């Protein structure tokens, strides 16, 4: 499994921050820089996934050579490879474009970013990066479990839990006939899988894409109010 982790170089929260005369930039002299904590969480998860499933963890970062000590720390933690894009991180969109340009030239099975950087807290880069690369995106992810060809993903939402699905696919040889396809899908159906769509490949294979519900929504406020009303009604 080839995993990419995006890393930001941020000031240590214990450092005293001072700004220049026109308050447009903070002074970097004497500031201790660290791996963005949210990115470090992602790096730790990537290393765990690699150790369990094999593969490689690559770290990518936009910045000048002054960030090299931080990148060396990612290698010490367990990353296999580091890519540093020698450029200034000017804003969220420029960062996403620079990352996308390099990422599009390579192949990765999973891209992990922190929820946000603790210096600017915009949280915009992950979504922009996914949009530019035209990749599926899960924001505020709090859990990721790999199950062979499918994954169970959890994320934070306001007011409860989101309905979650895991996905997989099955490849059929068309020469086996429709009976095999139907029987196989019925077997998956007994385990809770639902066929979402099917795709023919070169007229020789059919790929069935399946999903299975792995969670349920928390009751909404209106649903809870209705239950309470029924309990206290005279009926």
CATH of the domain at 95: 3.40.50.620
pLDDT of amino acid 232: 56
> Does any domain span residue 219?
no
Spell out the alpha helix ranges (H) of the chain.
37-53, 68-77, 92-103, 125-133, 178-190, 221-232
Do 169 and 133 belong to one domain? Answer: no
> Does any domain span residue 10?
yes
Mean pLDDT of the chain: 83
> Does any domain span residue 157?
no
Residues 142, 213: Cα–Cα separation, whole Å: 18
- Of 120 and 77, the structure prediction assigns the larger pLDDT to 77
> Does any domain span residue 99?
yes
Question: Residue 98 to residues 64, 86, 90, 92, 170: CA-CA distances in angstroms?
Answer: 14, 10, 11, 10, 36
120, 137, 154 - which closes a domain = 137
- Of 158 and 226, the structure prediction assigns the larger pLDDT to 158
Do 123 and 76 belong to one domain? Answer: yes
Do 124 and 175 belong to one domain? Answer: no
The CATH number for 183's domain is 3.30.1660.10
89, 117, 137 - which closes a domain = 137
Do 9 and 113 belong to one domain? Answer: yes
Q: Kindly tell me if the per-residue pLDDT of 80 is higher than 90.
A: yes
CB 6 within 8 A of CB 43: no
Do 170 and 127 belong to one domain? Answer: no
Q: How many domains does the chain have?
A: 2
Do 6 and 96 belong to one domain? Answer: yes
Over range 138-149, report the average pLDDT: 80
CA angle 7–13–17, rounded 5-degree value: 105
Do 9 and 105 belong to one domain? Answer: yes
> Does any domain span residue 186?
yes
Q: Which domain holds residue 71?
A: 2-15+26-137
Do 11 and 97 belong to one domain? Answer: yes
CA angle 104–109–111, rounded 5-degree value: 70
Confidence of residue 219 (pLDDT cuts 50, 70, 90): very low
pLDDT tens digits for range 88-105: 888 889 999 999 999 999
Do 31 and 125 belong to one domain? Answer: yes
Residues 22, 53: Cα–Cα separation, whole Å: 51
DSSP strand pairing (141-147 vs 150-155):
antiparallel
Do 118 and 40 belong to one domain? Answer: yes
Whose structure tokens read 């990419």? Answer: 4
Do 9 and 119 belong to one domain? Answer: yes
Q: Kindly tell me if the per-residue pLDDT of 56 is higher than 90.
A: yes
Do 38 and 119 belong to one domain? Answer: yes
Question: Crossing angle for the helix pair 125-133 and 92-103, nearest 10 degrees?
Answer: 40
Question: Crossing angle for the helix pair 68-77 and 37-53, nearest 10 degrees?
Answer: 40
């Amino acid at each position: 499994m080839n995993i990419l982790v995006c890393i930001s170089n941020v000031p240590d929260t214990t450092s005293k921050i001072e700004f220049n005369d026109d308050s447009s930039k903070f002074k970097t002299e004497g500031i201790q820089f660290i791996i963005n904590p949210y990115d470090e969480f992602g790096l730790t998860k990537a290393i765990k996934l690699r150790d369990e499933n094999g593969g490689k963890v690559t770290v990518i970062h936009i910045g000048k050579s002054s960030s090299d000590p931080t990148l060396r720390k990612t290698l010490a933690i367990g990353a296999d490879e580091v890519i540093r894009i020698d450029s200034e991180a000017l804003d969220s969109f420029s960062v996403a474009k620079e990352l996308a340009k390099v990422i599009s030239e390579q192949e990765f099975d999973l891209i992990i970013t922190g929820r946000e950087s603790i210096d600017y807290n915009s949280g915009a880069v992950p979504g922009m990066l996914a949009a530019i690369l035209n990749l599926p995106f899960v924001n505020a992810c709090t859990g990721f479990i790999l199950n062979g060809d499918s994954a169970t993903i959890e994320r934070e939402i306001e007011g409860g839990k989101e309905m979650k699905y895991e996905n997989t696919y099955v490849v059929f040889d068309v020469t086996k006939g429709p009976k095999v396809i139907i029987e196989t899908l019925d077997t998956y159906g007994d385990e809770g899988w639902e066929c979402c769509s099917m795709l023919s490949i070169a007229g020789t294979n059919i790929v069935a894409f399946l999903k299975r519900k792995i969670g349920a929504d928390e009751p909404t406020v209106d649903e809870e109010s209705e239950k309470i009303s029924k309990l206290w009604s005279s009926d």
